[in-house]
């Protein structure tokens, strides 16, 4: 074969190979650009065939094929679980964003899950803003029904709101009466929420604050706002108080007391920030110019700021003119610390900082207490006092997570007081609402001679909150064996076993174990000369009602108890007594009185059912006054 012919064949073959190569290369480029898919939408790569040891490129390719929900769909999912369709209220604190509803219906109907058709219409109307899939006549009829339903629902809701607000106002009034000046009371009243220890007072105050917040939210009255701020500061909830104080201006007609205002702002002051400290100084100056605070007030707080700078000598000079008795005890304590330290040699500064921090804690200047304690322990992490100051400051100002951390550290560096710190951890968990952890920590201290009684009291509260009725009764049984029981222990038990069940159900049904335990508590109450005998009477009445013994003796006891405990429990029981003894007019009178004392809708409904039964029955037409 001639050479020219061979050359032509080789060139042709090479041309074909090159053409094939180019085609393959173009196809590969196309596949790469389309994400591994051809017109049939078949993936080029799948996770099933991925390399067992893929390169970073492989991983990126695989990750990019994972479908991600668009933000609208994520919001829709959150809406579907976070919105209560019957009220339109969000279950979240964060605002619900709405990106998919293009129009809103003229009438929004509360969702009634018992009626499938109504539910479908409600949902459709809400999402599309139209009911066009119905006939015109049906639409108009449905609209009228919706309007009527809305009116009824609104009226019911208004009535419920009025009752709730009325109940809140009643609770606030009761709290204020109890805490005003008990020495002026002519009659010693029975307090169903009496303290079992000083921490139960915290329960009452927190509930009072919640009531004030709700009342202010509904009515927006300055008098309620003033009370709310005062209670928040009393409870050392300074950050919450600030939220309301920020809406107030500094002028001669300030809503709250100027000293309360400046005290609150000092306790939220970031002493590490020069700008924040300067802002606080400007507040002092402005209030001084308006003559809202005195020169002594200004000098006292300026002295505190100098202490934060460790300028103790300058602080002493600034305080020389301060003679106000509300400040002098703290100033004197700090002078004493300085004098004692001056007599010693080579004492590190952090000892002074920690001791002064402790005095600040005792006197309620928590921001400076924490600042000095932090400075002290940063210089010596084995020094116990700064940790104690930080732990108790955090606990008292409701920074409970931080308090737990410090108490946990203290159990390790100060093992001699391990039980005390464990106890504080348990209480902190309790106030956080973490009842299982509270029970876990407190249960370990039941054998502590000094802590046992209070531990049992908190365990009772913990088991109540997780609704473990059996364990609650068992701890009540253990508490009964303690020697130093007080009024509140008996009131708390009788309330749990008799009052609460009765007010929520309208009757008292207890099992044999509870019956025997109640009998033991009543006997112990009567044998203890330090216990108010009206409390024992509460237990005796509850036990007789549980036994269904509607005797003349019970009537005498109820009439005696109602003079010191004029509440739903006693008033409704008097109604029951007259109902069962066939004096229905007297029963009605007491049921109506009990309705006014009902704390919520459930209690009111229980009494209304009894009034309904009464109206369908006949009895002797005699009033309770005649009886």
Q: Greatest CA separation found in the chain?
A: 143
- Are 426 and 451 contacting, i.e. CB atoms less than 8 angstroms apart? no
Helices (DSSP H) in 309-445: which residue ranges? 312-318, 328-343, 349-363, 366-379, 384-396, 400-413, 418-432, 435-443
At residue 2 the predicted structure's pLDDT band, cuts being 50, 70 and 90, is: low
Return the pLDDT at 16.
63
Distance (Å, whole) CA 436 – CA 422: 15
Using CA atoms, how far residue 554 sits from 303, 538, 550, 578, in Å, is: 65, 11, 6, 11
Residue where a domain terminates, one of 154, 170, 186:
170
The span from the CA of 615 to the CA of 612, in Å, is 5
* 420 part of a folded domain: yes
User: What pLDDT shows up at residue 8?
Assistant: 62
Instruction: Name the pLDDT band for 306 (thresholds 50, 70, 90).
Output: very high
* CA–CA distance, 88 with 91 (Å, rounded to integer): 10
Kind and range of the H or E run holding 525: helix 512-527
Q: Is residue 418 part of a domain?
A: yes
Domain final residue, candidates 451, 482, 513: 482
Residue 567 near residue 192 (C-beta atoms within 8 A): yes
Cα–Cα distance, 315 to 54 (Å, whole number): 69
**Degrees, nearest 5: CA angle 437-442-447:** 155
Full residue range of the structural domain in which residue 453 is found: 399-482
- Tell me the C-alpha to C-alpha distance, in Å, between residue 18 and each of 10, 14, 23, 566, 567: 12, 6, 9, 104, 101
Position 112 in a domain: yes
Q: How many CA atoms lie within 13 A of 416 on its CB side?
A: 1
Q: pLDDT at residue 178 above 80? A: no
Q: Which two tokens stand for residue 24?
A: 């393959």
- Of 597, 537, 600, the closest CA to residue 569 belongs to 597
Cβ-based neighbours of 562, under 8 Å, separated by 6 or more: 570, 571, 574
CA distances, 604 to each of 165, 195, 258 (Å)? 14, 27, 43
Cα-only R_g, the chain: 36
Q: Is residue 430 part of a domain?
A: yes
The structural domain count of the chain equals 2
What is the number of residues in the chain?
627
pLDDT of residue 299: 97
Give the C-alpha separation, 124 to 259, whole Å: 57
What is the C-alpha to C-alpha distance for residues 143 and 127, in angstroms, rounded to an integer?
A: 17
pLDDT of residue 464: 97
Tell me the C-alpha distance between 535 and 196, whole Å.
14
> With 0-12 CB in 10 A as exposed, 13-18 as middle and 19+ as buried, what is 254?
middle
Q: Can you give the pLDDT at residue 180?
A: 56
Q: What are phi and psi of 37, to 5 degrees?
A: -130, 145
Mean pLDDT throughout 517-522? 98
Res. 4: pLDDT tops 80 = no
2 in a domain, yes or no? no
| CATH number (domain holding residue 426) | 1.25.40.10
Burial degree of 93 (CB within 10 A; 0-12, 13-18, 19+): exposed
CA atoms within 13 A on the CB side of 530: 8
- What pLDDT is stored for residue 251 in this prediction? 84
Query: Could you tell me if residue 512 is inside a domain?
Result: no
pLDDT, one tens digit per residue, over 550-560 is 999 999 999 99
**What pLDDT does 46 receive?**
29
- Find the mean pLDDT for residues 96-114: 24
Look at residue 612 and tell me if it is in a domain: no
C-alpha to C-alpha distance for 495 and 488, rounded to whole angstroms: 10
Of the ranges 88-92, 166-170, 460-464, which is most confident?
460-464
In a domain, 9, yes or no: no
Is residue 134 very low, low, confident or very high in pLDDT (cuts 50, 70, 90)?
A: very low
pLDDT at 110 over 60: no
Sorted by sequence, the CB contacts under 8 Å of residue 534 that are 6+ apart come out as 188, 190, 560, 561, 564, 565
Q: State pLDDT tens for residues 356-372.
A: 999 999 999 999 999 99
Q: What is the per-residue pLDDT across 264-290, written as a single tens digit (0 to 9) for each?
A: 999 999 999 999 999 999 999 999 999
How far does CA 80 lie from the centroid of its chain? 25
Q: Is the Cα dihedral 266, 267, 268, 274 positive or negative?
A: positive
Q: What is the DSSP string of 442-494?
A: HHTTTT-TTTHHHHHHHHHHHHHHTT-HHHHHHHHHHHHT-S---HHHHHHHH
Say if CB 266 and CB 304 are below 8 A apart. Answer: yes
Q: Which of 482, 516, 546 is the last residue of a domain?
A: 482
Check residue 438 and give left, alpha or beta (phi > 0: left; psi -120 to 50: alpha): alpha
Whether residue 521 is predicted with pLDDT greater than 60 in this model: the reply is: yes
Cβ contacts of residue 194 below 8 Å, gap of 6+? 200, 487, 488, 491, 492
């Amino acid at each position: 074969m001639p050479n020219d012919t061979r050359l032509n064949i080789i060139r042709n073959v090479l041309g074909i190979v090159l053409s094939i190569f180019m085609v393959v290369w173009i196809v590969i480029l196309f596949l790469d650009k389309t994400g591994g898919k051809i017109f049939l939408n078949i993936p080029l790569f799948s996770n099933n065939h991925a390399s067992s040891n893929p390169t970073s490129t492989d991983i990126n390719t695989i990750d990019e094929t994972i479908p991600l929900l668009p933000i609208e769909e994520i919001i829709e999912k959150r809406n579907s679980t976070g919105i209560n369709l019957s009220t339109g209220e969000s279950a979240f604190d964060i605002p619900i964003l709405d990106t998919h509803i293009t129009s809103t219906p003229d009438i929004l109907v509360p969702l009634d899950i018992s009626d499938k058709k109504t539910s479908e219409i409600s949902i459709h109307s809400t999402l599309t803003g139209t009911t066009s899939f119905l006939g015109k006549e049906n639409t108009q009829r449905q609209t009228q029904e919706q309007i009527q339903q809305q009116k009824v629902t609104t009226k019911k809701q208004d009535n419920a709101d009025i009752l709730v607000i009325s109940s809140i106002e009643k609770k606030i009034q009761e709290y204020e009466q109890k805490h005003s000046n008990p020495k002026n009371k002519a009659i010693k009243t029975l307090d169903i929420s009496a303290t079992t220890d000083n921490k139960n007072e915290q329960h009452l105050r927190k509930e009072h604050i919640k009531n004030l917040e709700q009342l202010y939210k509904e009515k927006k009255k300055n008098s309620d706002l003033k009370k709310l701020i005062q209670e928040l500061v009393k409870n050392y909830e300074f950050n919450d108080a600030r939220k309301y104080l920020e809406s107030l201006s500094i002028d001669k007609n300030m809503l709250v007391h100027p000293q309360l205002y400046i005290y609150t702002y000092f306790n939220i002051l970031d002493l590490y920030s020069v700008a924040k400290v300067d802002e606080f100084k400007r507040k002092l100056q402005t209030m001084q110019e308006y003559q809202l605070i005195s020169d002594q007030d200004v000098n006292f707080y300026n002295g505190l700021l100098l202490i934060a700078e460790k300028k103790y000598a300058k602080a002493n000079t600034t305080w020389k003119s301060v003679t106000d008795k509300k400040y002098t005890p703290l100033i004197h304590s700090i002078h004493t610390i300085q004098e004692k330290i001056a007599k010693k040699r080579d004492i590190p500064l952090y000892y002074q900082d920690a001791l002064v921090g402790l005095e600040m804690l005792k006197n309620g200047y928590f921001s400076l207490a924490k600042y000095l304690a932090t400075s002290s322990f940063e210089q010596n992490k084995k020094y116990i006092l700064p940790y104690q100051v930080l732990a108790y400051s955090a606990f008292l100002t409701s920074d409970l997570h931080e308090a737990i951390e410090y108490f946990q550290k203290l159990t390790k560096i100060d093992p001699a007081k391990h039980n005390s710190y464990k106890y504080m951890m348990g209480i902190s968990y309790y106030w956080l609402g973490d009842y299982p952890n509270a029970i876990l920590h407190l249960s370990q201290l039941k054998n502590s001679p000094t802590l046992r009684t209070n531990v049992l009291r908190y365990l009772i509260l913990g088991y109540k909150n997780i609704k473990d009725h059996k364990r609650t009764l068992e701890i009540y049984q253990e508490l009964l064996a303690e020697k130093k029981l007080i009024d509140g222990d008996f009131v708390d038990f009788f309330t749990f076993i008799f009052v609460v069940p009765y007010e929520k159900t309208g009757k008292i049904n207890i099992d044999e174990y509870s019956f025997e335990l109640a009998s033991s508590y009543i006997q112990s109450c009567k044998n203890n000369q330090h216990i108010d005998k009206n409390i024992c009477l509460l237990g005796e009445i509850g036990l007789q009602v549980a036994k269904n013994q509607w005797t003349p003796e019970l009537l005498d006891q109820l009439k005696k108890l109602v003079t010191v405990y004029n509440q739903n429990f006693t008033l409704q029981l008097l109604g029951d007594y007259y109902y069962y003894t066939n004096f229905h007019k007297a029963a009605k009178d007491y049921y109506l009185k009990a309705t006014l004392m009902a704390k919520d809708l459930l209690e009111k409904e229980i009494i209304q059912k009894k009034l309904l039964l009464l109206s369908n029955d006949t009895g002797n037409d005699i009033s309770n006054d005649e009886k």
